[in-house]
Amino acid sequence: DIQMTQSPSSLSAYVGDRVTITCRASHDVGNHVAWFQQKPGKAPTTLIYGASRLEGGVPSRFSGSGSGTDFSLTITSLQPEDFATYYCQQHIKYPLDFGGGTRVEIK
Amino acid sequence: QVQLQESGPGLVKPSETLSLTCAVSGYSITTAFYWAWIRQSPGRGLEWIGSVDHTGITFYTSSLKSRVTISIDTSRNHFSLSLRSVTAEDTAMYYCARRIRGDGDHWYFDVWGRGTLITVSS
């Protein structure tokens, strides 16, 4: 199995801040990583797939990068609606493991 | 616009079988994509349970493989999850999701259902 380790597990930030979340895979997954956003009481929604490909309708302040084992999700100019929990996931090999999540809170 | 909707019993007794259905609307389940079940609990985070393709070929996570069956019903445009011999550790929010082929030959979850909460308790 491929373990996905996210850091930090939580962070506090101000509206307008630039925020970066990292995800490390235990094995090389190429660029097959997705990022999801989940708000309390809601299902996850897809932000990014293929490490850097923005899903349709997702604001351009979200971006993803990385390859191999190290990946990151960046939110430029954090907006009030961006306070949520974010998960990475490798989508190349079964089982399709997720990271433990990063909770982004208002400072 | 494709929508997925889970349905299930809400409460299941220990040792019994959990049965869930995911109804797909706005899209034919026979298209060459994958359909998945994912669960989420406070102690275990997001956990992929398994997937089925449009022909009925299945893939399961190893920790649940002995207890789980995922099937597809093309006539009803839905797919199902059966989890046998449940315990309290199976208490979770259960989601169904579609896995599609995106740009660059990336297969990823693009649409999720709203989820259904399953509690295992006597």
Nearest residue on chain B to A56, alpha-carbon basis: B110
- B86 in Cβ contact with B121 (< 8 Å): no
What is the average per-residue pLDDT within B7-24? 97
- Chain B residues touching residue A91 (CB < 8 angstroms): 99, 106-109
Tell me if B115 and A43 make a contact (CB, 8 A cut-off).
Answer: yes
The pLDDT of residue A79 is 96
Percent of chain B at pLDDT > 90 equals: 91
B77-117 pLDDT per residue, tens: 999 999 999 999 999 999 999 999 998 889 999 999 999 99
Q: Which whole-number Å values give the CA distances from A41 to A58, A102, B68, in the listed order?
A: 20, 16, 26
Percent of chain B at pLDDT > 70 equals: 100
Reported as a pLDDT band with limits 50, 70 and 90, residue B42 is confident
Q: Comparing C-alpha atoms, which of B80, B39, B37 is closest to residue B56?
A: B80
**How many other β-carbons are positioned within 10 Å of the β-carbon of residue B76?**
12
3-class secondary structure, B30: coil
Tell me if B46 and A89 make a contact (CB, 8 A cut-off).
Answer: yes
The pLDDT of residue B60 is 97
Residues of chain A with pLDDT below 70 are: none
What is the average per-residue pLDDT within B28-38? 93
Which of B45, B107, B112 is opposite residue A98, by nearest beta carbon?
B45
- Chain A residues touching residue B99 (CB < 8 angstroms): 91
Residue indicated by tokens 């199976």: B90
Whether A80 contacts chain B with CB within 8 A:
no
d(C-alpha B89, C-alpha B43), whole Å = 9
